[in-house]
Amino acid sequence: MSDLKLIALDLDGTLTQHKSRLEDENRAVLDKLSKKYKLLMVGAGQCMRIFNQMNKYPVDIIGNYGMQYGIYNPGTGDLEIVRDVSVPCNREETEEKVWYIRRKFNFMNFTGDNVEYHKSGCITIPLLGTKANLEDKLNFDPTREKRRKIYNEVKAIFGGYNVFVGGSSSFDLAPLPYDKYYALDLYCREKGFDHSEVLYVGDDYGLGGNDEAVYRSDFKFICIDDYRDFGLLMREYI
């Protein structure tokens, strides 16, 4: 711990309930940690979504698996986006591949759009469609077993992307080489941190999880399975 300089953090499931605001208890833990270490958010979503979900907590944020980077400005109390990469997406080819997956694995019953395209070039494959009922999505694959069974084949089909088992019923795709390991390693190289000086905290470390690449790397990693345990797990670092 004496060599630790940077604590990098996931958001949903780690600091907060999924898609919920940062609660006072974990905010207080971040305040204590920030007195000893540099804090950094490493997210799958856009920087501003993360910033707002954290109630504008004063922290720098990596978003979109490294395609975005925002620096907190203490003078304005806002986040300034200093990197915002966008990669073109071949939509016709993508649609063909998603239809192939739907037909092969019997995901033909869906509501809304077949694919969700993001400005960054990231892609979401909503197996139940973009307008699926929330209850249906939550009940679809709570253990992620269905998607993990076909995960390697989806990866092979989308060879130009990193593929993640996302949300409750989807696959999330980020253009190569972007993932959380790439993002954190790039940040370290730009800011002069050695990997041995970094600790990462995340909950999505299983097969296809968006924290898995960091979990399987040389970065120190704390696994968290309930965001309410964050304070307990970080107690020895405070």
Q: For position 19, what pLDDT does the model report?
A: 86
Structural contact between residues 214 and 200, judged by C-beta atoms closer than 8 angstroms:
yes
Angle (CA) 183-42-72 rounded to 5° is 105
- What's the pLDDT tens digit per position in 150-169? 999 999 999 999 999 988 99
CA-to-CA distance for 100 and 49, rounded, in angstroms?
32
Residues 6+ apart with CB under 8 A from 44: 63, 64, 65, 164, 166, 172, 174, 180, 210
Q: For position 18, what pLDDT does the model report?
A: 87
User: In the chain, what are the domains?
Assistant: 6-85+178-237 (3.40.50.1000), 91-175 (3.30.1240.20)
Looking at every residue in the chain, the average pLDDT score rounds to: 97
DSSP 22: P
